[in-house]
Copies of this chain bind each other. A is one copy, B any other.
Amino acid sequence: MLQAIEDYIHNTKEASLEELYEFLRIPSISTDSRYKDDIDRCAQFLKGYLDGIGLEKTTIYETKGHPIVYGEWCGAPDKPTVLLYGHYDVQPPDPLELWQSPPFQPECRDGQIYARGVSDDKGQVFCHLKSIQAFLSEHGELPVNIKILIEGEEEIGSPNLTPFVEAHTDLLKADTVLISDMPMFAEDRPSLCLSLRGLVYMELEAVGANQDLHSGQHGGPVPNPIHALANLITCLKDSDGRVMIPGFYDEVASVPPTIQKQLQEGLFDVDGYKTQLGLTTLVGEKGFSTCEQQWFRPTLDCNGIIGGYTGEGAKTVIPSKASAKISMRLVAHQDPDEIVSAFMTYVKEQCPPGITLSVSAHSTAHPAMVDADQTAVKAAQQAIKNIYGKDPLFLGEGGTIPVVSEFERLLGIQSVLMGLNLPNDGIHAPNEHFSVKNFYNGILTSAHFWNEYARSY
Contact = CB atoms under 8 A, between A and B. Distances in A.
Contacts of A305: 226, 229-230, 305-308, 310, 322
A299 to B, nearest CB: 4
Contacts of A103: none
Contact of A156 (B221, B313, B329, B362): B313
Given A218-B398, A230-B230, A313-B32, A277 B429 contact: no
A220 B300 CA distance: 8
Most buried by B among A214, A220, A302: A220
Contact of A32 (B94, B312, B430): B312
B31 A312 contact: yes
B227 A241 contact: no
Contacts of A327: 215, 219, 314, 316
Interface residues of A, number: 98
A302 B312 contact: no
A73 B226 CA distance: 48
A277 B279 CA distance: 44
B315 A304 contact: yes
Interface string A308-347: 1111111111110011110101000000000000000000
Contacts of A314: 31, 156-157, 201, 203, 303, 325, 327, 362-363
Nearest to A329: B219
Contacts of A95: 212
A81 to B, nearest CB: 29
A224 B301 CA distance: 7
Given A32-B313, A230-B233, A283-B354, A428 B301 contact: no
A351 to B, nearest CB: 11
A157 B237 CA distance: 37
A224 B302 contact: yes
Contacts of A278: 209-211
B318 A214 contact: no
A222 B273 CA distance: 10
A194 to B, nearest CB: 16
A340 to B, nearest CB: 14
A294 interface: yes
A319 B313 CA distance: 22
A102 interface: no
Interface in A211-263: 211-224, 226-227, 229-231, 233-234, 237, 239, 241
Contacts of A156: 313-314
Nearest to A270: B221
Contacts of A220: 241, 284-285, 290, 293-294, 297, 299, 329, 398
16 contacts: A32-B311, A94-B309, A156-B314, A201-B314, A209-B277, A215-B301, A215-B303, A226-B233, A226-B301, A226-B305, A229-B305, A230-B234, A231-B234, A301-B318, A304-B307, A317-B428
Q: Which 10 A-B pairs rank lowest in CB-CB distance, beginning with the nearest?
A: A216-B399, A210-B278, A220-B293, A31-B313, A304-B308, A221-B284, A230-B233, A209-B277, A304-B309, A306-B310
Interface of A: 31-33, 91-92, 94-95, 120, 155-157, 183, 197, 199, 201, 203, 208-224, 226-227, 229-231, 233-234, 237, 239, 241, 273, 277-285, 290, 293-294, 297, 299, 301-319, 322-325, 327, 329, 352-354, 362-363, 397-400, 423, 426-430
